[in-house]
Amino acid sequence: MANTLKPVNEQILVVTGATSGNGLAIVERAVRDGAAVVAVARNETALETLRVRLSATGARIATCVADVSDLAAVERVATVAIEAFGGFDSWVNNAGAGTYGTLEQVPVADHRRVFDVNYFGVLHGSLVAARHLRTRGGGAIVNIGSILGDRAIVEQGPYCATKHAVQALTDTLRMELEQEGAEISVTLIKPGAIDTPFPEHARNFMDQPPRLPPPLYAPEVVADAVLFACANSRRTLYAGGGGLMSSLLSRTAPRVADLIMEAIGTATQQKPGDPGDSARRDNLYEPRTDALRGSQDVHARRSSIVLQLQKLPRSLLAVGLLGGAAAIALGNAAAKRR
């Protein structure tokens, strides 16, 4: 598909899960870059606070209270965008929920709830967005997946399953839109571990407070990837080199990756003595206190070299990869002659 996407400063973006973590970082970056935004979340108080704060800076922002698991609520988001700005150019499916615990520990109802938000929420947003973007002659749908869509990890089975499903959904959506000739870019963003309130928001069945395994990246890294995808057609973008390395290991040596996860997967997802902010705990069914970053004591990288490399023009990236491969080959040949 030809890249007919507008620059971000000429766009209207819809962002779900907009009051916390990656979604909040996306909204703040988008308005800073000159875009208008329709911010969507369940947390009405946090949405209004966000609207007031950003409007005071001159940002163009509208809000819509919606649970993405409800198709009618998601359809209402499109109506708000049309009434506020005449429509939208990019739709970012970011809202998510999770649990910590084994498959047996997590009640089946909670499994279903995670799917309702993470899979059906993306499906609802994608269908509504595609329907609208066809009428505008194109645009972008950006889905937030995870490296856990490439490989599973213990203690987060339901979440991993939804991200595998989002991978398939995104690929199918892309093919079907291309098949019909719709000029709609479909991108899957695959963050690694990001320093958001996710561990505090997730419902926890472990005997210790949950955490995300290092290395962690700041939510602004995901925002960088998303805003790039809104203006540049890409199939997939990895946000964070640590996640990409985990994915590559799983593809090249899946059994080794399994054994590593079995050995350290639980310990690296627990933070004894540091549960974080109790006001944020467990938002699976109802919103809790939202924030940009997690409140646990962790270190997060503020940039990702891997992401910046993916943003290079395809031709330049190909030349760089070929050059790197040639240099490695020459180095190996020289070593053999010694």
Please enumerate in sequence order all residues whose Cβ is within 8 A of that of 268, keeping only pairs 6 or more positions apart, or say none: 211, 213, 214
By C-alpha distance, which of 45, 112, 48, 35 is closest to 81? 35
The answer to whether the beta carbons of residues 208 and 270 sit under 8 Å apart is yes
Tokens found for residue 81: 């965008």
Give the integer Cα–Cα distance in Å for 193 and 235.
21
Residue 268, CA distances (Å) to 81, 98, 159, 200 in order: 41, 17, 17, 15
CB atoms within 10 A of CB 66: 23
- The per-residue pLDDT for 335 is 47
With tokens 């970082």, the residue in question is 25
pTM for the whole structure: 0.91
Nearest to 88 by CA among 131, 122, 132, 126: 132
* Residue 90 contacts residue 11 (beta carbons within 8 Å): yes
Helix or strand holding residue 239 (H, E): strand 236-239
Task: Please provide the distance, in angstroms rounded to a whole number, between the alpha carbons at the two ends of the chain.
Answer: 49
Q: Are the CB atoms for 158 and 114 separated by under 8 Å? A: yes
Q: How far apart are CA 158 and CA 110, in angstroms?
A: 9
**DSSP secondary structure letters along 83-137:** HHHS--SEEEE-----EEB-TTTS-HHHHHHHHIIIIIHHHHHHHHHHHHHHHTT
Q: Which two tokens stand for residue 102?
A: 């084994």
Q: Say whether 159 is catalytic.
A: yes
Of 100, 159, 217, 238, the catalytic one is 159
| pLDDT per residue of the chain (338 residues) written in tens, 0 to 9 | 445 899 999 999 999 999 999 999 999 999 999 999 999 999 999 999 999 999 999 999 999 999 999 999 999 999 999 999 999 999 999 999 999 999 999 999 999 999 999 999 999 999 999 999 999 999 999 999 999 999 999 999 999 999 999 999 999 999 999 999 999 999 999 999 999 999 999 999 999 999 999 999 999 999 999 999 999 999 999 999 998 998 999 999 999 999 999 999 999 999 999 999 999 999 999 999 999 999 999 999 999 999 999 999 876 655 555 554 454 455 555 545 55
Handedness of CA 163, 168, 109, 279 (dihedral sign): positive
Element (H, E) at 204: strand 203-204
Q: Domains, the chain, ranges and CATH?
A: 8-303 (3.40.50.720)
pLDDT of residue 87: 98
